[in-house]
Amino acid sequence: MKIESGIYMLEVPTKIMGMASIIHPTLIWDKNSLILVDTGFPGQLHQIHEAFEKEGIPFSKLKMIILTHQDIDHIGSISDILKEMPGRVEVLAHEEEKEYINGKKKPVKLARLEDRLEHLPDNMKIIYKNLKAGFESSRVNVDKTLIDGQELSYCGGITVIYTPGHTPGHICLYLKQYKILIAGDILHVKEGLLAKADQDINFDNELNMKSMKKLMKYDIETVICYHGGIYKGDVKKRIAELANDL
């Protein structure tokens, strides 16, 4: 779906905990660069190709991937993309996420399950096993690390907003020319309303709330949520409500 000139929200079908769903990576395209924000689950390269084709954008033009964070539904197909386009695609992520993505640190969701492994029911042990295999197959090097407030000179300017809480190095991206926030997982759209991520999937809920408050200083008119899609309306008011837990 074209959101603005050069900004596309992709629709990639998937299953989450056995339920059909759609995830929404974002494409940012200007004259010189094609950037993909997040890469779906492992094994979704074909669906990502199809999403590019649906928008009429050649996959071969891809130059950069920005990862909002380490979770498997965001990094899952990155290794397949890099194998298909060796040496042609740069990978960027926040400096706090780098060692989770390259495998030097254990991803936080995996570590949480592993700590309780002996007490997990059989179905959760299967999920743990699959998650572990997925992370192992998705390890890649991060070419460049990002920091809070960094300005990327693409598509009218992209501001990196460091929003830890969901994971230690979660980021959002603010496209200031269009007043668009690419929210990663700090926000989602549920039943048409902008909402916070569920507390039980956050790394640190207190930190997540501080990050939510941080978003209030940006002039946001449109939010692209990886889970739930597009949200427009009185965004600043809604974020203020969420940040103050109303």
Whether residue 16 is predicted with pLDDT greater than 80 in this model: the reply is: no
Instruction: Give the count of beta carbons closer than 10 Å to the beta carbon of residue 50.
Output: 15
Domains annotated for the chain, with CATH where assigned, are: 2-243 (3.60.15.10)
Reported as a single tens digit per residue, the pLDDT across 139-177 is: 999 999 999 999 999 988 999 999 999 999 999 999 999
| pLDDT for 64 beyond 60 | yes
Does the pLDDT at position 200 exceed 80?
yes
DSSP, collapsed to helix, strand or coil, labels residue 101 as helix
How does pLDDT run across 227-242, given as a tens digit for each residue?
Answer: 999 999 899 999 999 9
Q: What is the pTM of this model?
A: 0.96
Q: What pLDDT shows up at residue 197?
A: 86
User: What is the mean pLDDT of the segment spanning 16-25?
Assistant: 86
Confidence of residue 32 (pLDDT cuts 50, 70, 90): confident
pLDDT of residue 20: 87
pLDDT at 106: 96
DSSP for 27-79, written as a single string? EEE-SS-EEEE---STT-HHHHHHHHHHHT--GGG--EEE-S---HHHHTTHH
| Span 71-91, pLDDT tens digits | 999 999 999 999 999 999 999
In this prediction, residues 63-67 reach a mean pLDDT of 98
Neighbours of 153 (CB within 10 A): 10
Averaged pLDDT, 116-131 = 91
Q: What is the pLDDT of residue 19?
A: 81
- Which pLDDT belongs to residue 245? 78
Pairing of strands 90-94, 19-23: unpaired
Q: Which residues make Cβ contacts (< 8 Å) with residue 32, sequence separation at least 6?
A: none
Mean residue pLDDT across the chain: 95
